[in-house]
Amino acid sequence: MNNVSNGCHVAIVGATGMVGQEFIKILLQRQFPLASLQLYASDRSAGKKVFVGHQEIVVKETANDSFDSVDIALFSAGSETSKHFAPLAAKAGALVIDNSAAWRMDLRVPLVVPEVNAEDIKKHKGIIANPNCSTIQMVVALYPLHKVNPIKRITVATYQSVSGTGVAAVEELTKQAKTVLEGGNVVPHVYAHQIAFNLLPEIDVFLENGYTKEEWKLVEETRKIMHAEHIAISATCVRVPVFVSHSEAIQVEFTDYMPPDEARSILSKAPGVKVLDDPNVSLYPQPWLAVGTDEVYVGRIRSDASYVNGLVMWVVSDNIRKGAALNAVQIAEEAVKCGWVRQQGNNK
Ligand code: A2P
């Protein structure tokens, strides 16, 4: 393990993907203290050159010994890749920050949104999980309210963009939109059905309880991050023909009455949140406007007409930035700042 105060040796696994590319952008934008950067992907990308600032870095195939001199490994190459390589990277001494679902509910692995539970980072044993994109933006918006007035119940409907599925889905929406507009027939590949000009209430696999795995992630991950096992949560996750940014219609029931103005006031001071809420001038968060930005936007805050201690709100964020790469880099920054990069024990 190197002394990270002189900069970190960072590896990105999944460097050619949507989130991998955003990792590179964000590390540079935030001037993350880099001693070196190594880029890994599958054998399909080995030898490919990627510009990092003015420097060209050759992508390598991820191998068991890729992490021998790495301080921080940012993973975004799917669950199977993480299950195999993350423990090896942790064993080699790297702090793994993993964007897949592989480790999120593992009791030994902290699941972190820095605005909510940064202190959990220090409990890591080599792997820290980055939550699901929909969970991240929801807890950033709800936790500041929960601290003031504990939440009892959440009902959420998500409107999730195709970039959450990866590069292939972005290409699929582009091609399908063109095909439909030209009067052609669409043959879906990435999703079960056509996504262009359509909505699909199916994200990840269906579970025996009738929910999808994506919906269940929102339930379990929210409780783990907020340390609030008692909150009742129900979610419906919908894939929408939007390229980037996820939106959420959230209904929250608090312990006591929460006036909308109080919620606006709390959220306007909350870290990572920007309130956009003025119906008089049609001001509210929109996926298009959130693209490439770091905030979680909250608007349409109003009392819930169906129960007394409830609020309804509309929450939007760039799923590739705060929903994935930015959150992971923020975890890395916090770990470096607090001297928590070195692992506390082994995951395996
Ligand atoms: P590759 O481009 O070589 O397939 P996205 O989710 O945007 O499609 O990106 C997925 C990322 O995960 C890509 O960088 C992809 O690399 C990488 N990846 C996929 N399978 C593996 C694997 N078995 N080992 C390492 N990286 C992988």
Q: What is the pLDDT of residues 6-29, one digit of tens each?
A: 899 999 999 999 999 999 999 999
| 269 and 309 both lie in a single domain | yes
246 part of the active site: yes
Tokens of 48: 């490919």
In this model, does residue 344 exceed pLDDT 60? no
Q: 79 with 177, same domain? A: no
Select from 142, 150, 154 the least CA-distant residue to 267.
142
Q: Give yes or no for a contact between 40 and 104, defined as CB atoms under 8 angstroms apart.
A: no
Number of domains in the chain: 2
pLDDT tens digits, one per residue of 270-322: 999 999 999 999 999 999 999 999 999 999 999 999 999 999 999 999 999 99
Residues 240 and 174 in one domain: yes
Residue 2 placed within a domain = no
Look up the CATH number of the domain holding residue 283: 3.30.360.10
- Over residues 167-209, the pLDDT tens digits come to 999 999 999 999 999 999 999 999 999 999 999 999 999 999 9
Is 160 found in the same domain as 126? no
267 ligand 1 Cβ < 6 A: no
- pLDDT above 50 for 249: yes
Q: What is the CATH number of the domain that holds 94?
A: 3.40.50.720
Please spell the DSSP secondary structure of 294-308, one letter per residue: -PEEEEEEEE-TTST
Question: By alpha-carbon position, which residue is closest to atom 6 of ligand 1?
Answer: 166
163 lines ligand 1 (CB under 6 A): no
Instruction: Check residue 343 and give its pLDDT.
Output: 55
In the prediction, which pLDDT does 333 show?
A: 98
Q: What is the 3-state secondary structure (H, E, C) of 247-282?
A: EEEEEEEECCCCCHHHHHHHHHCCCCEEECCEHHHC
Of residues 343 and 85, more confidently modeled: 85
Catalytic residue among 9, 124, 133, 146: 133
- Same domain, yes or no: 214 and 186: yes
Query: Residue 240 corresponds to which tokens in the numbers above?
Result: 């929408």
- Per-residue confidence (pLDDT) for residue 4, from 0 to 100: 76
Residue 93 CB less than 6 A away from ligand 1: no
The boundaries of the domain holding residue 177 are 135-319
Catalytic site residue 189?
A: no
Residue 2: the pLDDT is: 53
Over residues 44-57, the mean pLDDT reads 96
The answer to whether residue 120 is domain-embedded is: yes
What's the CA-to-centroid distance between 163 and ligand 1, angstroms?
14
Does residue 113 form part of some domain?
yes
Q: Is residue 3 situated within a structural domain?
A: no
Average pLDDT, the chain: 96
Whether 172 and 66 map to the same domain: the answer is no
In this structure, are residues 324 and 312 in contact, taking their beta carbons and an 8 Å threshold? no
**82, 97: one domain:** yes
Look at residue 346 in the predicted model and tell me its pLDDT: 47
**Is the confidence at residue 348, as pLDDT, over 60?**
no
Q: Are 307 and 333 members of one domain? A: no
Let me know whether 127 and 140 are in one domain: no
Q: What percent of the chain has pLDDT over 70?
A: 97
Judge if the beta carbon of residue 79 lies within 6 A of ligand 1.
no
Q: Where are the alpha helices (DSSP H) in the chain?
A: 18-29, 79-91, 114-117, 133-148, 167-181, 213-226, 260-268, 287-290, 326-337
Are 193 and 216 contained in the same domain?
A: yes
Nearest atom in ligand 1 to the alpha carbon of residue 48 is 3
Are 243 and 341 found together in one domain?
A: no
Sign of the Cα pseudo-torsion (104, 110, 112, 117, in order): positive
Question: Three-class SS of residue 200?
Answer: strand
Sign of CA pseudo-dihedral 317, 166, 26, 93? positive
